[in-house]
Amino acid sequence: MNAAKTPAEVLKLIKDKQIKAVDLRFMDFPGMQQHFTVPTHCIDLDAFKDGLGFDGSSIRGWQAINESDMLVIPDPTTAFVDPFAKDPTLVMICNIQDPVSKEDYSRDPRNIARKALKYVQTLGLADVAYFGPEAEFFIFDSVRYDQNQHEGYYHIDSIEGIWNSGREKDGDKPNLGSKLRYKEGYFPIPPSDTLQDIRTECMLLMEQCGIEIEAQHHEVATGGQNEIDMKFSPLVEMADKLTLYKYIIKMVSRKYGKTACFMPKPLFQDNGSGMHVHFSLWKADKPLFAGKGYAGLSDMALHAAGGLIKHAAPVLAFAAPTTNSYKRLVPGYEAPVNLAYSRRNRSAAIRIPMYSASPKTKRLEFRCPDPSCNPYLTFAAMLMAAIDGIEKKTDPGKPLDVNIYDLEPDEAKHIAQTPGSLAESLDALRKDHAFLLRGDVFTSDVIDTWIDYKTVNEVDAMRLRPHPYEFMLYYDI
């Protein structure tokens, strides 16, 4: 990204790189990137102003078929050369507009993120909101799944998986051992870590495409769990980068005959994949979250934490937006379900990293989100909750600086926890969303559509279907 800044620079890039096609990408409502491709002669200066038309009737969560005509408006600052295309192809992320009114489309997730930042700037509180997600993921060797009227199953396999320790062969080769035991995948070197070269290739391609990377490593779980850490960026830019991050990981994995998985909890009884999100506000190049309070935080930062804690449940309707998300957010396991803040305690929903005393490093780390989320909506919802806390000077309560598992039951019960299901988070969003409507960032239509879509297509869909484990529990009852 950021190979070009202006439409004229994009046109020069197309000429200099002998680009043959331009891929126009945008985000659907639930959070999957969509695209269509045009020949380069379709891209001129007018295309950046007037856009290009397309049929949006089949895009998930968008308008009915009678209002389906849409425009994509390419953002020249997002341009990069696709490293996977056979023919030289330039990619740009687009905003969506209504072709009649020329207004930004209210259900376009990128538009919501843009409005959130503009709202904060209008208030005069900050110039920029920085976000730094740590998205974890699995790379499996194979996956099979199906669900129909008479059966339901999934089957995952990985050469790294400890369940393969007794297998005679790994494919057509002898089993050479070095499998990663459950919860022992954090930082082992090869040969136990079989994915070093794939992660490095992903890392280098990300940097080539404009994403600055800080580190890559194996993660805790067996079976191929990984993490590649991006350097923080402004809200919209970071959401753009996260979509590219997932694209590169999926494509490199496919190149090696493997498959990348961003589900929060694909494996039973091992760590799930979270997406801890680091967040801070700045104004005139000054870090606003640095101060003399707890853990070196300012009052603004503590009030922001208070807002995030107060509105955590509705925020999680966007930040942990799948039924599978709540297989990870389970009390007593690895996930941070306690709605409190702490400078080092990883069981708290908000952690204040203490790696450096520099004011520029002061930030909040919201640990509940996962990589199944739509980043535009998640970052926007987090920002709006934090701003609500700042404006209302919301008290975040006392920090959770003790081991939650060492507390007596009477003490632990007073610590609020995250919702236990997607249905609970959606219900919380239904009851508590006024903070999201401020500045017309999220509209009532967006909130209602999100709740209806998630309820019908995911919550109710899961409720209606027998679960394989129910046969284990109840078949002989």
Residue 397 φ then ψ, to 5°: 85, -170
* Three-point CA angle 439, 245, 4, nearest 5°: 75
Indicate if 440 belongs to the active site.
no
Q: How many helices (H) and strands (E) does the chain have?
A: 15, 20
Indicate if 367 belongs to the active site.
yes
Contact 185, 219 (CB under 8 A): yes
Indicate if 227 belongs to the active site.
yes
Beta carbons within 8 Å of 231's beta carbon, 6+ residues apart: 132, 212, 213, 214
Residue 335 three-state SS: coil
- Show the tokens assigned to 83: 């490293």
CB atoms within 10 A of CB 301: 30
Contact 430, 342 (CB under 8 A): no
Does 371 sit behind a cis peptide bond, omega within 30 degrees of 0 on the bond before it?
Answer: no
Return d(Cα 265, Cα 327) in angstroms, integer.
Answer: 6
DSSP 398: S
Contact 188, 224 (CB under 8 A): no
Return d(Cα 422, Cα 44) in angstroms, integer.
Answer: 44
Return d(Cα 287, Cα 447) in angstroms, integer.
Answer: 32
Of 46, 55, 411, 448, the catalytic one is 55
Return d(Cα 308, Cα 385) in angstroms, integer.
Answer: 5
Return d(Cα 365, Cα 278) in angstroms, integer.
Answer: 4
Residue 237 three-state SS: helix
Contact 296, 290 (CB under 8 A): yes
Of 75, 108, 227, 270, the catalytic one is 227
Of 134, 141, 237, 370, the catalytic one is 134
Of 276, 278, 328, 363, the catalytic one is 276
Of 28, 141, 237, 365, the catalytic one is 365
Indicate if 363 belongs to the active site.
no
Indicate if 470 belongs to the active site.
no
Interstrand relation of 142-147 and 213-218 (parallel, antiparallel or unpaired): unpaired
Of 75, 136, 160, 237, the catalytic one is 136
Indicate if 365 belongs to the active site.
yes
Indicate if 219 belongs to the active site.
yes
Of 346, 463, 465, 467, the catalytic one is 346
Bridge partners of residue 132, in order along the sequence:
278
| Burial (CB count <10 Å: 0-12, 13-18, 19+), residue 357 | exposed
Of 28, 219, 237, 458, the catalytic one is 219
Residue 380 three-state SS: helix
Residue 236 three-state SS: helix
- What amino acid positions are annotated as catalytic residues? 55, 134, 136, 219, 227, 276, 346, 365, 367
